[in-house]
A = this chain, B = another copy of it.
Amino acid sequence: MNKQIKLAHRPVGLPEKSTWNFEENPIPAIQEGEILVRIDYVSLDPAMRGWLNDTRSYIPPVQIGEVMRAGSVGEVIESKHEHFKEGDFVYGTGGVQQYIATDGKGWVKVDPELAPLPMYLGTLGMPGFTAYFGLLDVGKPKEGDTVLVSGAAGAVGSIVGQIAKIKGCKVVGIAGGKEKCQYLVDKLGYDAAIDYKEENVREGIKQHCPKGIDVYFDNVGGEILDLALARLAMGARVVICGAISQYNNTTAIKGPSNYLSLLVNRATMQGFVVFDYSKRYGEAAKEMAQWIQAGKLYSKEHVESGIENFHDTFLKLFSGEKKGKLVLKVSE
């Protein structure tokens, strides 16, 4: 049987258990030109919260009754497709379920010998590519720049900070909790970390970014975005990657009151979507794999188990109870 998580209704605020339907359906049969994939791991990302809203965005929302969309890695267990054979490991948007029949469009092979499968959902997958292109192409850091990262211990943020260090920047991270902040400095090589739960973030930024912020990589939005805007250096680049603090809002999103700092400091605030860089994923994966092998880039996956635990695991994205890339193992 194929265990699946489907969208039962659109949540208001934080999703609840009743947001999802848990179903067991027969494993689909494949047609000529298709493959059957047994999904081993699914990716849990803050962006998934946005896909639940019935609003115009960069991709259509998940429809009620559909399997929840998610990135996934797994093994081809049956193939009637010329490019994939049984035993191939593949990455694609398989959704939160155990099996999928697909024509292979949008699926790519991955090598489990080169890196553990969950890493293809993290550093060598979307979050890694998001960090790589968002920082390097949008943020354009120069050696000696001060780079501030929010959500700094998360799947994207933890890679952003490390790449910025590789590029010779001073890197300051904002994260929640003493342990995460210590992890940023001790394990990821951040120059400093600010604990937004315990510290005054305004003072922290002032202290650790005395020359102002050249690149601010924003994963959180809200109050922290405003505090960062208030300390921009001349010609700063603000990279809008996400706004996790606002995703479960039941009221209007908080806009950045300090946006006129863009004018005063001749600064740029730019949004991006990683999908636009799909032709260059190979380039990013290759360079990041080299950094990992050279010990310059530490990849951290937080793996939970059991498709039944999808809801509770998903909430960990927003409660801050995890470090690095959140992944759910859905098949035994």
Contacts and interface: CB of A to CB of B under 8 A. Distances in A.
Interface of A: 56-58, 221, 226, 240-243, 246, 252-273, 276
B263 A272 contact: yes
Given A240-B260, A268-B270, A269-B270, 13 more contacts: A221-B260, A226-B255, A240-B262, A241-B263, A255-B258, A259-B269, A261-B271, A262-B271, A263-B271, A263-B272, A264-B271, A266-B271, A267-B270
Nearest to A268: B270
Q: How many copies does the complex hold?
A: 2
Contacts of A252: 257
Given A268-B268, A270-B268, A253 B263 contact: no
A271 to B, nearest CB: 3
Contacts of A266: 271-273, 276
Nearest to A247: B260
B262 A270 contact: yes
Given A260-B253, A262-B240, A269 B272 contact: no
Given A266-B276, A276-B266, A259 B259 contact: yes
Contacts of A255: 226, 254-259
A271 B145 CA distance: 20
B254 A257 contact: yes
A253 B246 CA distance: 19
25 contacts: A58-B263, A58-B264, A221-B260, A240-B259, A240-B262, A243-B260, A246-B260, A252-B257, A253-B257, A253-B259, A253-B260, A254-B255, A256-B256, A256-B259, A259-B269, A260-B271, A261-B271, A262-B269, A262-B270, A263-B271, A266-B271, A268-B269, A268-B270, A268-B271, A269-B270
A261 B240 CA distance: 10
